[in-house]
C-alpha cells in the first residue's frame, strides 16, 4: 500500500487470516464434521491463507469431538507428496518450519496443551515435515489464538452459547474466512451473517469456486478476486454526461442586451 501510494496506484490486497470454524452440538455425524475441521486447517500442510485454524466446539460435544479428531489425525498419511495416498506433505522451507515450531513451543510455554502432534513425524528423518498439531487449553490472549501460523496447527476453544461462539469467532484482527457446522440451517444462516469475514462456509471448510468472490475484511485485506467481482478490480468507471435541453441551464443571469 505504501509503495502504491507514492504514485496513487490502485491496489487490491488479499492477505492472511486466523479463521474460525464453529461446530455446534446438534451435528448428527461427528466424523463428517471432524473431516471438515481437518481439511480446513491441514490441507496443503496448513499453508492456506483462509485456514480455519481456530476451532470452536460446543461444550456438549467437545470431548467426544476431540477424541475423534485425534484418531483421524493419527490416521493421516504424512509422506513425500508424490507418494500415493499422501495427505500431509512438508512445509515450504526451513524458515517456515522453524517458525511453526516456535509457535508450538510458545503455545506450550504460555500454558496451552499440545493434545496431538507438534513434532517431526518419527518415520521422516529429513525434510520440513510437522505432524498435524491440535492445541487445547487456549486463552484468547495467547499468540496461537491471535496470530497466523501458516502450518498444520489448529487451536481449540469451547463455547456454551451461540452468542459466545460469535464473540469468539470475531475475536480477531483478521477477517478473511470463517465457517459454521450445524444441522440447523437457520442457525447456520444466522451465524454466517454475523461472522466478520469476506468468506463464510456452511457445513464445510475451504471449497473455493472461481465463480464466487474471494477476499477479506479488516487486516485480511480489501478488494476481491475471482468471479465478476475480481474483474472489477482491474476496471475503472467513467461517467459521461450529456445535456439535452435547448434552453440555458439558468444558473447565471443572462447579460442584458444594450
Q: Is 14 a catalytic residue?
A: yes
The answer to whether 153 touches 116, Cβ cutoff 8 Å, is no
DSSP codes joined into one string, 121-156:
-TT--SSS----EEEES--TTSHHHHS---SSEEEE
Q: Give how far Cα 156 sits from Cα of 53, 56, 90, 186, 204, Å.
A: 8, 6, 23, 25, 17
What's the CA gap between 150 and 112, in Å, rounded? 19
What's the CA gap between 62 and 160, in Å, rounded? 10
What's the CA gap between 210 and 228, in Å, rounded? 10
The catalytic residue among 14, 131, 164, 189 is: 14
Give me the active site residues, please. 14
Amino acid at each position: 500500500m505504501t509503495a502504491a501510494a507514492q504514485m496513487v496506484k490502485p491496489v487490491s490486497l488479499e492477505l492472511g487470516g486466523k479463521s474460525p470454524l464453529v461446530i455446534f452440538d446438534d451435528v448428527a455425524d461427528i466424523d463428517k464434521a471432524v473431516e471438515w475441521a481437518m481439511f480446513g486447517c491441514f490441507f496443503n500442510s496448513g499453508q492456506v491463507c483462509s485456514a480455519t485454524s481456530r476451532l470452536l466446539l460446543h461444550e456438549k460435544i467437545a470431548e467426544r469431538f476431540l477424541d475423534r479428531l485425534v484418531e483421524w489425525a493419527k490416521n493421516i498419511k504424512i509422506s513425500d507428496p508424490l507418494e500415493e495416498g499422501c495427505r500431509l506433505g512438508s512445509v515450504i522451507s526451513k524458515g517456515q518450519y522453524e517458525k511453526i515450531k516456535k509457535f508450538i513451543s510458545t503455545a506450550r510455554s504460555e500454558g496451552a496443551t499440545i493434545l496431538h502432534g507438534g513434532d517431526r513425524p518419527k518415520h521422516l528423518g529429513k525434510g520440513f515435515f510437522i505432524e498435524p498439531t491440535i492445541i487445547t487449553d487456549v486463552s484468547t490472549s495467547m499468540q496461537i489464538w491471535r496470530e497466523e501460523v501458516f502450518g498444520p496447527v489448529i487451536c481449540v476453544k469451547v463455547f456454551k452459547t451461540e452468542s459466545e461462539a460469535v464473540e469468539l469467532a470475531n475475536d480477531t484482527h483478521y477477517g478473511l474466512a470463517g465457517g459454521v457446522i450445524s444441522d440447523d440451517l437457520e442457525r447456520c444462516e444466522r451465524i454466517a451473517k454475523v461472522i466478520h469475514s469476506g468468506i463464510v462456509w456452511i457445513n464445510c471448510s475451504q471449497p473455493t469456486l472461481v465463480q464466487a468472490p474471494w477476499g477479506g475484511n479488516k487486516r485480511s485485506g480489501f478488494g476481491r478476486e475471482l468471479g465478476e467481482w475480481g474483474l472489477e478490480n482491474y476496471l475503472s468507471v467513467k461517467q459521461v454526461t450529456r445535456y439535452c435541453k435547448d434552453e440555458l441551464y439558468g444558473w447565471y443571469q443572462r447579460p442584458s442586451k444594450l
